[in-house]
Structure 1
């Protein structure tokens, strides 16, 4: 498997070299954390390298999502119109909101029909926009989708999606994706966190701020042999809309 850069040198080194293609990265944070911004810094860097961004949004309407991301210098509308990104808008799909922007994908969904409709939307997205580029997906957020589907139903659905991912790896000949899962532990059960951690090759957790505007980032898990758990803690902050990491 190819080893891919996050575009953040200090993070690549901390992970043991980068992110394996076809891997899952789980980012866990709490209610006031800006740790979710790390995912969009990685996505921004991967888009610059030619990958295609896929935001799977289950928590915010598009206008609110766009405002949140502008705070970290990620212009989701510009990237979408530029052909670099698409949104699978589950929030709007469940609540019947439609958009004119072609890069926002919706479908009439409910818990009982979620999986087949989601798979149809994603297959359509592959054909219409992704093509031969590598998809880099961000789930915004795992806890949000668990709320829409119910935790037990979500865990079952998530397992089936992992099986489909494995089947695609075996049968399809296209660039393998990166998947980033955002999970606010303040809105999630321990059971949900445990299951998603199991299916994630990388786990990064953000701990409550030690100082104003600064958080502690801990790399809990990496599959790479050069990963050193003794060098896995960093100070994390957002400066000028950009992620800054400093070793503890």
Structure 2
């Protein structure tokens, strides 16, 4: 399997070399953490390398979502209009919001019982019209958001189904293999949900924020690479003037 750079040298080194294609990265953070932005920094860097971004949004309508990403100067509307990114907007699908943007995909008939086929249908349209021969890099914003919308037990079963579909695609399809990044706010998730998603993630990064400083502790909990060497005490993560810093 090909090893892909996150575009962040210190993170690649910490992970043991980068991200394996077809792998899943879980980023766990708490209520006041900005650790979730790491997923979008990796996504932006992979787009620069020629990959295609697919965001599954179950938490925010497009407008406030775009505002949130202003924190790291990532303009998702610009990326979408350039043809480098698509959003599967589950939040807006369920609440009846539609956008005059050809990179935001909704389906108002989506519900708990039809999520898997409806999601697959939207993804196939994106694959045909936009991804084509590029590598998809997906960001689930967020796992806990989906669990809230569909119920935790239903979501875990749906998630297992998606993992199985991904494995079947690996066996039967000849194309560039994806990377998936799962975002999970532990303030909105049970330990049971965190445990299940961790099982299906080859990489796990956890952030811990503090009320006393804007700098956060970043700990890499899991990597499948032989050169992975966990750092005692973790790393320090912060954002300054729209840029992510790790040391």
Normalised to the residue count of structure 2, the TM-score between the two structures is 0.98
Deviation for aligned residue 1:232 = 7.1
Judge conservation of contact 1:202–1:221 (CA < 8 Å) in 2.
Answer: yes
Consecutive unaligned residues of structure 1, counting only runs of 5 or more, are none
What's 2:83 paired with?
Answer: 83
Query: Residues of 2 paired with 1:240 and 1:211: CA distance?
Result: 19
Consecutive unaligned residues of structure 2, counting only runs of 5 or more, are none
Q: For residues 84-139 of structure 1, give each alpha carbon's deviation from its aligned partner in whole angstroms, at most 9, with x where no partner exists.
A: 10000000011111111000000121111111111101111100100000000000
Q: For residues 2-38 of structure 1, give each alpha carbon's deviation from its aligned partner in whole angstroms, at most 9, with x where no partner exists.
A: 0000000000000000000000000000000000010
Query: Residues of 2 paired with 1:232 and 1:42: CA distance?
Result: 23
RMSD value over aligned CA atoms? 1.0
Q: For residues 62-73 of structure 1, what are the structure 2 equivalents within 5 Å?
A: 62-73=62-73
Query: Residues of 2 paired with 1:165 and 1:136: CA distance?
Result: 13
SS at match of 1:71: helix
Q: Structure 1 pair 4/107, CA: closer, same or farther in 2 (3 Å)? A: same
User: Which 4+ stretches in 1 moved above 6 angstroms?
Assistant: none
What's 1:130 paired with?
Answer: 131
Q: Structure 1 pair 47/231, CA: closer, same or farther in 2 (3 Å)? A: farther
SS at match of 1:12: helix
Deviation for aligned residue 1:209 = 2.4
Judge conservation of contact 1:138–1:182 (CA < 8 Å) in 2.
Answer: yes
Equivalenced residues, count: 246
Deviation for aligned residue 1:229 = 1.7
Q: For residues 101-180 of structure 1, what are the structure 2 equivalents within 5 Å?
A: 101-108=101-108, 109-180=110-181
Query: Residues of 2 paired with 1:208 and 1:41: CA distance?
Result: 19
Deviation for aligned residue 1:71 = 1.5
Deviation for aligned residue 1:230 = 3.6
Normalised to the residue count of structure 1, the TM-score between the two structures is 0.97
Q: For residues 218-247 of structure 1, give each alpha carbon's deviation from its aligned partner in whole angstroms, at most 9, with x where no partner exists.
A: 00000000001245710000011111001x
Judge conservation of contact 1:14–1:231 (CA < 8 Å) in 2.
Answer: no
